[in-house]
Amino acid sequence: MDMPLAEAETTALIRVGETCERHIRFTREDIAAFARLTGDTNPLHHDVQAAQRARHGEIIASGQQTTAQMIGLVASHFSRSDDGADRELLCLNFNFAFKAPVFAEQELLLHWRVASVEWNATLDGWLAHVDGRATVRNAHPCVVGRGTLLVKAARP
């Protein structure tokens, strides 16, 4: 089936197998500040003594702190224009599962991979399903996620 030229040109915007990555590390201060900004009063994010008495024994980042970084990474990558292709991006859906706590000063690798891409004529863009994860030392998954993106050629 032939696509109109405008549709065919957008295939360079996003590809199956395309990946993006970023390394991050949260300090205790980062974790406490993010929790305050988002109204998360759970003492596990700011009270060392409460955290030491709890299951994990130390300050942990809120789930939304890690997922916010993950969404920011995928949104930045697929809305970029540094490769000569001007894009518009809408993040349509994300689902996350929390597998392990994220502790202060752990180095995390955030990673997304495009699992599938399909043209959607109604939305006039490419629907992409992406699989993501945040891992400690590139091995232990703390957060896994799946998202749906709409990527379009930017209109002049």
Q: What tens digit of pLDDT does each residue of 69-111 get?
A: 999 999 999 999 888 888 999 999 999 999 999 999 999 999 9
d(CA 156, CA 147): 27
138 versus 125: the higher-pLDDT residue is 125
Q: Please give the pLDDT value at position 54.
A: 86
Domain boundaries, the chain: 5-27+62-153
For the beta carbon of residue 119, count every other beta carbon within 10 angstroms: 15
- CA atoms within a 13 Å half-sphere pointing along the CA-CB vector of 53: 4
- What was the pLDDT predicted at 91? 97
Residue 5: predicted pLDDT: 39
Each residue's pLDDT tens digit, 31-58: 999 999 999 999 889 888 888 888 888 9
Q: Is the pLDDT of residue 6 over 70?
A: no
Q: Band the pLDDT of 137: cuts 50, 70, 90.
A: confident
User: 8: pLDDT confidence band, cut at 50, 70 and 90?
Assistant: very low
- Under CATH, what is the fold of the domain 5-27+62-153? Thiol Ester Dehydrase; Chain A (3.10.129)
Q: What pTM was computed for the model?
A: 0.89
| 156/150 Cα distance (integer angstroms) | 18
Alpha-carbon dihedral 15, 74, 94, 31, rounded to 10 degrees: 160
